[in-house]
Amino acid sequence: MTIISQSKIMLSIGFIGAALFSYKAFTRNTVEDLCSTKKLASSGLSNDWRSGDVILLIRHEERCDRSSNPCLGPDNGITVSGSERAKEAGIRLKTYFELDNSDIFTSPMTRTVQTSDVMLGKARLLSDREAICGSDIIDKLLKHKIANRNLIVVTHNTCMKDLIRTIGHKHSWSPEYGSLLFAKTTSKNEIKIVGKLNPDDVPKHLP
């Protein structure tokens, strides 16, 4: 009986250990949710931002052609309610992060341009939708990133997923309209994802 009990205990320990290892491996490869002010502060983003090491991808706001809400302008742009959310997110973002040391780009699609205009002000137009997108998105981001200056790109859901997938994170997050994906450059000129924020989770004030 003792031998059987010991075997069961060892099997249980092994199962728990394997489960913990699997959990750690899964969480290590998922994108961190920076939804609380505490998490945002502990992420080190404020220091990285001041150093100009941050890359921020922002998904455009609500598409008019996929909504019954009134359009802000053309039907290939965003909705009025989307523009209001973009304006609020921009106010919060500018309060939490100074934008003076940032270069802002936007996909040339109407929905991204409108989002950028309302949220951040004038941005530089990329040559096409795929200019910072695809399996080589890391190289494209590094090409546009200037040392000691943050890079902000108003872009699309698929492009944000491209960065997540290319870096090797679990593809377990589908960015909402207006979502923010933060990454940073390392001393080895590599890109590391820091975390994600939904637009309503951007703090209204500095910590």
CATH code at position 39: 3.40.50.1240
Q: How far is CA 3 from CA 6, 7, 10, 97, 173, in A?
A: 5, 6, 10, 62, 46
Structure confidence by residue, pLDDT tens digits, 20-48: 444 344 445 789 999 877 888 889 999 99
> Looking at the domain assignment, is residue 206 inside a domain?
no
Helix, strand or coil, per DSSP, at residue 142: helix
Q: pTM for this structure?
A: 0.84
Instruction: Show the domain range for 165.
Output: 33-201
- Does one domain contain both 159 and 79? yes
Considering the domain architecture, whether residues 6 and 103 belong to the same structural domain is answered as no
Residues 40 and 26 in one domain: no
Q: Is the pLDDT at 153 greater than 70, yes or no?
A: yes
Determine, yes or no, domain membership for 207. no
What is the rounded CA–CA span in Å between residue 102 and residue 54? 9
> Are 97 and 18 members of one domain?
no
Q: Which one has a higher pLDDT value, 97 or 11?
A: 97
pLDDT tens-digit readout, 51-101 = 999 999 999 999 999 999 999 999 999 999 999 999 999 999 998 888 999
Same domain, 41 and 83: yes
19 and 99 in one domain?
A: no
| Closest C-alpha to 126, from 57, 48, 36 | 57
| Amino acid 202: pLDDT | 78
Compute the mean pLDDT over every residue in the chain, rounded to the nearest whole number. 87
Can you tell me the mean pLDDT for 5-10? 60
